[in-house]
Amino acid sequence: MLLPAVVLCTVLVAGYGHGYGNGYGNEYYESKKDHNHCKKLKHYDIAPPSGSQLNRKAKFTQLEKNGKQCIMIDCPITSHTYALIAGHDGSEFNIFGADYSDTVVLAAGVNVGLVASCDGKKITATTTDGKKVNIKKVACIQNNVSNDLNSTVTVPPAPGCNSCNFEAMKPALVTPGTDMQYVDIPVTGGCMRTQVSCIKLSDPDNPCRNIAIETSDGIEKWTVDSVAKSIDVVFVCSPDGTYSSDSSMKINKFQCVFTCGVT
């Protein structure tokens, strides 16, 4: 499969950003930095087999939502394409044309990261080929050659996740003062992915200035800064024919809405 985070802590597609993930940073989360409920992740110090790649450290932010503990993992915010990886014995991935052993890819793209669930010493995330794994060490592989999201990461095929009906997911009506855009993310031998952008337009009669993407499972992502003009979410077709995101499962509807805040 070719690869280019709301904080309910059920991670399915591990990613956000422009690519195989959704593009937004720490300002979109409710951050809890005054506790230490999650075990600290370590840097995965693997040497890239290609001279055109760099191993860079990820940023960690602990979160709390509805009493659940999570940890947000971000790659550097630059113009480069990244693959967020974790050490995992026995797994192999081709990342930007180079083969990596004992490694899994959690997300790939520009401005990429994920929200992983944690329970004390156990931190769980889902790989780009749909496998739930425990992670201890992570890193960001920087691609210095090209930002072509159609030729980034190759993973083993994941059959049975290309039959979802995305048209049935779309809202019948667009919320006044917003616009929505859809981009299908190319894949080879893997699950269908579609990036949804919620764009804020002018609506002087609406007292709420933040926007959110709301799914049948609840608020998926929101802005806390009214200056932000758009947010993105990537929906991934699941083998059972439903859609999932980085924090929700079995989604059948979504909508772009205005919100005065998310609690």
CATH code for the domain of 254:
2.60.40
Question: Binning pLDDT at 50, 70 and 90, where does residue 154 land?
Answer: low
- Residue 38 shares a structural domain with residue 89: yes
Task: Name the average pLDDT for the chain.
Answer: 75
- Residue 20 shares a structural domain with residue 102: yes
- Residue 52 shares a structural domain with residue 144: yes
Residue 161 lies in a domain: no
Query: Would you say 166 and 251 are in contact if contact means Cβ atoms under 8 Å apart?
Result: no
Residue 135 lies in a domain: yes
Q: What's residue 89's pLDDT?
A: 92
Q: Can you read off the two tokens belonging to residue 128? A: 């780009």
Identify the weakest region by mean pLDDT among 5-9, 47-51, 120-124, 214-218: 5-9
Residue 159 lies in a domain: no
Question: Binning pLDDT at 50, 70 and 90, where does residue 109 land?
Answer: confident
Domain extent for 255: 166-259
| Averaged pLDDT for residues 205-220 | 79
- Residue 9 shares a structural domain with residue 87: yes
Q: Can you read off the two tokens belonging to residue 263? A: 């609690």
From 127, 154, 181, the end of a domain falls on 154
Per the model's pLDDT, the better-predicted residue between 96 and 221 turns out to be 96
- Residue 12 shares a structural domain with residue 62: yes
pTM attached to this predicted model: 0.51
Pairing of strands 137-143, 42-43: parallel
- Residue 40 shares a structural domain with residue 109: yes
Residue 14 lies in a domain: yes
- Residue 220 shares a structural domain with residue 110: no
- Residue 78 shares a structural domain with residue 197: no
Which of helix, strand or coil describes residue 13? coil
Share of the chain above pLDDT 90, in %: 14
Characterize 38-73 residue by residue with b for buried, 16 or more Cβ atoms within 10 angstroms of its Cβ, and e for exposed: beebeebebebebeebbeeebeebbbbbeeebbbbb
Residue 109 lies in a domain: yes
- Which residues have a Cβ under 8 Å from the Cβ of 119 and sit 6 or more positions away? 69
Query: Would you say 153 and 93 are in contact if contact means Cβ atoms under 8 Å apart?
Result: yes
Q: What's residue 139's pLDDT?
A: 95
From 103, 125, 154, the end of a domain falls on 154
Assign 3-state DSSP to the chain and report helix, strand, coil percentages, each to 5: 5, 50, 50
Q: Residue 216: is its pLDDT beyond 90?
A: no
* Tally of structural domains, the chain: 2
- Residue 148 shares a structural domain with residue 220: no
From 128, 154, 180, the end of a domain falls on 154
Q: Residue 29: is its pLDDT beyond 80?
A: no
- Residue 150 shares a structural domain with residue 215: no
| Averaged pLDDT for residues 185-197 | 73
Residue 160 lies in a domain: no
Residue 36 lies in a domain: yes
- Residue 144 shares a structural domain with residue 223: no
Q: Residue 150: is its pLDDT beyond 50?
A: no
Question: Binning pLDDT at 50, 70 and 90, where does residue 217 land?
Answer: confident
Question: Binning pLDDT at 50, 70 and 90, where does residue 119 land?
Answer: confident
| Averaged pLDDT for residues 166-195 | 81
Helices and strands counted in the chain (H then E): 1, 19
- Residue 146 shares a structural domain with residue 182: no
| Averaged pLDDT for residues 114-125 | 82
Q: What's residue 206's pLDDT?
A: 75
Q: Where are the beta strands (DSSP E) in 29-177?
A: 42-43, 53-56, 59-65, 68-74, 81-95, 98-119, 122-126, 132-134, 137-143, 153-154
Residue 205 lies in a domain: yes
